[in-house]
């Protein structure tokens, strides 16, 4: 159990809102954490489950499905269950394990009990989770995918015809994947944005058939692995991917929030730092990276 607790501590220290807490407050949270194990196919919760916990994936992988058929793969270091944790009324979707997995569970009842956690700490956690939910819901509901396509590409929107298929050579191409990851990293390092895969530069909805995934779950799993391997696990919390239908064709929508730390894209033995400059993704020169990071991530308000 001591090893598991240390692992949870390491995960919490790297994630909002817990990264803002003092170690003593994090340790107080750890004292009330419960651990649960799941086998592949085991249901964590569905829309009929009374919400009581916030979940952090310690190891393994889960699948989230919402009533609007939004799907997301959830891996190590990611939270789920925020909406039910906040509203205490209903779960908005279903989550089940796709691998042998372990989660740590934070009880809302204990979080709001001052004998476990200081009230100001509990308030900070609730506020930060609510802010995260609002940001996510705003991007998903207030701006429809059809509207985004109609408005066209911009500093915060980019279209890609495929995720991994080269339309000219007619085969899989790592360079195509790299191009999509560049855009994601740039959104993370700038002001966030939306990447639509399965849409041409002109806004024509092409669909996802060219990428030749056996199903949409495989596609989402592949994307999650790309981000984890090439950008980093801690950045998956800022990326929300879903498969949606427009004009009877499926496309991949990737909503990226601004990250709270610099995101580097690994390419073999090298790492590159990308930002958005207008509607383009730009590799920042090494001489400018330090200044940009200081201004973007560490500048203090007067």
pLDDT in tens, 235-278: 998 999 999 999 899 999 999 999 989 999 999 999 999 999 88
The pLDDT of residue 253: 95
Average pLDDT of the chain is 87
Answer yes or no: same fold for 2-134 and 145-297. no
> Taking a C-beta distance cutoff of 8 angstroms, is the pair 82, 133 a contact?
yes
CA distance 244 to 225: 20
pLDDT greater than 80 at residue 125? yes
- Which homologous superfamily is 2-134 in? Jelly Rolls (2.60.120.10)
- Which homologous superfamily is 145-297 in? Schlafen, AAA domain (3.30.950.30)
pLDDT in tens, 72-93: 778 888 888 888 888 777 777 8
Phi, psi of 236 (to 5 degrees): -65, -20
The pLDDT of residue 301: 43
pLDDT greater than 60 at residue 68? no
Angle at the Cα of 236 from the Cα atoms of 143 and 167, rounded to 5 degrees: 70
The pLDDT of residue 1: 52
pLDDT in tens, 212-240: 999 999 999 999 999 999 999 999 989 99
User: CA of 191: how far to CAs of 19, 254, 257, 268, 274, in Å?
Assistant: 21, 14, 7, 27, 12
Q: Which two tokens stand for residue 26?
A: 């994090």
The pLDDT of residue 10: 78
pLDDT greater than 60 at residue 15? yes
The pLDDT of residue 144: 80
Let me know if 278 is exposed, middle or buried by CB neighbors in 10 A (0-12, 13-18, 19+): exposed
CA distance 102 to 94: 17
User: How many other C-beta atoms are found inside a 10 Å radius of the C-beta of residue 171?
Assistant: 8
CA distance 126 to 129: 5
Could you give the percent of the chain with pLDDT greater than 70?
Answer: 92
Can you give the residue ranges of every domain in the chain?
A: 2-134, 145-297
Task: Please compute the mean of the pLDDT values over residues 197-207 and round it to a whole number.
Answer: 95
CA distance 302 to 300: 6
Task: Please compute the mean of the pLDDT values over residues 23-28 and round it to a whole number.
Answer: 88
> Taking a C-beta distance cutoff of 8 angstroms, is the pair 236, 77 a contact?
yes
The answer to whether the predicted template modeling score (pTM) of the entire model surpasses 0.75 is no
The pLDDT of residue 302: 40
């Amino acid at each position: 159990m001591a090893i598991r607790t240390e692992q949870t501590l390491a995960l919490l220290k790297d994630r909002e809102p817990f990264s803002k807490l003092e170690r003593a407050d994090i340790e107080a949270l750890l004292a009330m954490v419960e651990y649960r194990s799941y086998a592949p196919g085991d249901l964590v919760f569905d829309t009929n489950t009374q919400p009581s916990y916030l979940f952090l994936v310690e190891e393994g992988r889960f699948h989230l499905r919402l009533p609007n058929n939004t799907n997301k793969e959830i891996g190590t270091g990611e939270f789920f269950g925020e909406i039910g944790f906040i509203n205490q009324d209903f779960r908005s979707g279903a989550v089940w394990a796709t691998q042998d997995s372990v989660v740590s569970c934070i009880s809302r009842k204990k979080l709001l009990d001052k004998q476990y956690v200081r009230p100001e700490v509990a308030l900070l956690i609730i506020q930060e989770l609510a802010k995260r939910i609002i940001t996510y819901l705003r991007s998903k509901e207030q701006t429809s995918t059809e509207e985004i396509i109609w408005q066209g590409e911009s500093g915060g929107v980019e279209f890609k015809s495929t995720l991994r298929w080269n339309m000219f050579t007619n085969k899989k191409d790592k360079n195509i994947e790299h191009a999509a990851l560049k855009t994601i990293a740039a959104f993370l390092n700038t002001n966030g944005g939306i990447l639509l895969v399965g849409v041409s530069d002109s806004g024509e909805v092409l669909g996802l058939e060219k990428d030749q995934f056996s199903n949409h779950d495989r596609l989402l799993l592949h994307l999650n692995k790309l981000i984890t391997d090439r950008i980093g696990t801690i950045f998956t919390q800022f990326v929300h991917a879903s498969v949606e239908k427009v004009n009877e064709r499926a496309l991949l929508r990737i909503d990226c929030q601004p990250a709270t730390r610099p995101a580097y894209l690994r390419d073999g033995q090298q790492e590159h730092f990308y930002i958005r400059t207008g509607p383009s993704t730009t590799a920042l020169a090494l001489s400018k990276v330090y200044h940009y990071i200081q201004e973007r991530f560490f500048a203090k308000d007067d």
